[in-house]
Structure 1
Amino acid sequence: MKFKKFIAAALVFGLIAGTAACGKSAADVKAVKIAYLPITHALPVFVENELTDKAGQKYKIDLVKYGSWPELMDALNTGHVDGASVLIELAMKAKEQGVGVKAVALGHKDGNVVVVSKNINNVTDLKGKKFAIPHRQSSHNILLGQMLKNAGLSYKDVNIVELPPPEMPAALAQGQIAGYSVAEPFGAKSVALNTGKVLFESNELWKDSICCSLVLSDKFISSNKALAKNVVSGYSEAGEYIGSHKDEANTIAKKYLKLDDKVLDLSMKWISYNDLKITREAYDSLTSKIKEFGISSNPPAYDDFVDSSLLEK
């Protein structure tokens, strides 16, 4: 009887000790909540999530998926997440409104296209027709404005509508809109289905354009400076990994985005993820265009909004 009691006590002690040990190990791994939409432009956060899981680092990316930009921004603005992969103009507007956020890295380079129906052959063919963008506060709106300006037209010459990105390919195929500009892979979907064609790639309209960025809350950065630096460093390394490990990156992209090979190949052809630092020159170009096309009259200055220190070695 005494022996049985000893065994029972030992099992209980072992269970308590094991639980405590597990708790200690889990406490050592800091979870960083990053909001995202399922788009190709968010690929670096997907890759960082996969790499940190394998590397046994002292932090992990806790990805939080949202279905729309307003939902994502509400989570970011109210502190429900530590950061986000997001349209930079939305984060800039939040900063204007007093939300404590900093842009710490680019989401990608290039990777936006203007897609139109098969019967549109030039910009003037869009006159009087519906053209879709995901949000007024977006680089896609700037690309539309620049395209129209280059053709001697203005926003007044087209009927601009806002649509959720996943709805755009179907809307184009059904003739509800004549064209759109949006984050990938939704441009590639229309091209792959042969229901649309590329009128312009973003670099033809706006060199070194900025679209999406990784942003972190001021609170997270100030409370976790070393961790924030690790997260941004890992994010930058994920961008370089995508360029040097294309097959592995494509596998990760398909895991998170559920894309077929044709759509993914097209999407990745237009986009790159190397050297994701936000330069003052590129940011100043962005703020200039934001003012020119009436997106905001008072965008935040580079030094107020961009924290490039987290990418410094």
Structure 2
Amino acid sequence: MKNYTKLISISVIILTAILLSGCAGDGEQDINQLTFGYQPSTHQIAYMTAAEKGWWEDNLEPHGIETINENEFPTGSPEMQAMLAGDIDVAYVGAAPFVSAVDKGLNAKIVAGVQIQGSSLVLRPEFAENYEEPQDLEGLKIATFPPGTIQDTILRNWLKDNGLDPDKDVDIVGMGPGDAISAISAERVDGVFLPHPAPAIIESENNGQSVVDSGEMWNNHACCVLVVSDELINNYPEVTREIVKTHVEATEYNKNHMDDAAQIYANYTGWDVSQVKKSLNEWDGQWIADPKTIVDPTVNYAQVQYELGYIDKDLKRSDMFNTSFYESINTS
């Protein structure tokens, strides 16, 4: 009987040790790879810089990460669908498609800012020369990213603010950046509202002219954000912290080395570096990392999407943000 009791006690101790070893924060050796999602926009050069310089691998290896995988997406909607399916762990993505995904049940949080503003409305030359106010867009066909994206949300909200019905007065068609550039070049659309570098590329090819920057439509609006799954946040906080720290490092590097950032982007995408530099010199965007900068605009996006009928839930800050990792880096 004594031996039986002793055996039970030992079993309880072993079981307890196993359970404790899997608790949040103690299981980092159990994860050895991460998958990042991103889009081919100058808004998200921070991801590309950290990738090209090997910072993701170097900085995350001490935390047990042996492999970094990456998936490129044309816009934020399919990227968030992939995250909902569990195919990516970390996303560089627009705030608006993230809001839509949270409404659909995505368990993830914004842990850092990436960029604000940085998109432009470009019209074909014959329309651009006569453009004076938003009402001049009535009856035109404008290509932008699909419903639920940053560009779609901003464009529709701006049209409404200026007395236009985005469903009746303007023909808005959803496209990825490559298709939209081809469409305006082939005169299949009258204009596009796209993130950079697309506007600069269209202008350099004499297929259009920028008439309104997104900052004029919605001043200091949030655009791209860094999103991490709740699984990483809750179970691997040191990995998450290193992701944020590396993002901050890449953001600061790009801000201080604009020409190198342009070359990295050109290497990644195949765009001519002179066009990339033109874009970065002309856009109204700004690379950022502090998530507090974009809390209010993102909450506003959620409200606008709720009013547009894109989402069913009235989302709050706590549903979308975890700023603790950025704060820990800047107070350590």
Residues 46-105 of structure 1: CA distance to partner in whole angstroms, max 9, x if unpaired?
Answer: 112234449833336432223454542332111121111122222211211212111112
Q: Are 1:35 and 2:46 counterparts? A: no
Distance 1:278 1:259, change over 3 A: farther
> Aligned runs of 1:66-105 on 2, under 5 Å?
66-105=73-112
Alignment RMSD, CA only?
2.4
Distance 1:275 1:221, change over 3 A: closer
Return the alpha-carbon distance in structure 1 between the equivalents of residues 288 and 79 of structure 2.
25
Shift of 1:29: 10
Return the alpha-carbon distance in structure 2 between the equivalents of residues 85 and 54 of structure 1.
14
SS at match of 2:125: coil
Contact kept? 1:93, 1:299, Cα under 8 Å = no
Shift of 1:119: 1.7
What is aligned with 1:253? 265
Matched residue type, 1:78:
A
Matched residue type, 2:288:
N
Aligned residues: 287
SS at match of 1:58: helix
Q: Are 1:124 and 2:135 counterparts? A: yes
Give 1:277's match in structure 2, choosing from 276, 281, 291.
291
SS at match of 2:220: coil
Unaligned runs of 5+ in 2: 1-28, 62-66
TM-score (structure 2 length as normaliser):
0.79
What is aligned with 1:307? 322
Shift of 1:142: 2.7
Distance 1:262 1:149, change over 3 A: farther
Return the alpha-carbon distance in structure 2 between the equivalents of residues 54 and 77 of structure 1.
23
Matched residue type, 2:41:
I
Shift of 1:124: 2.5
Residue identity over aligned pairs, in percent, reads 25
Distance 1:218 1:114, change over 3 A: same
> Aligned runs of 1:194-233 on 2, under 5 Å?
194-233=206-245
TM-score (structure 1 length as normaliser):
0.83
Shift of 1:33: 1.3
Unaligned runs of 5+ in 1: 1-26
Distance 1:65 1:160, change over 3 A: same
Give 1:47's match in structure 2, choosing from 22, 46, 49.
49
Matched residue type, 1:236:
V
What is aligned with 1:63? 70
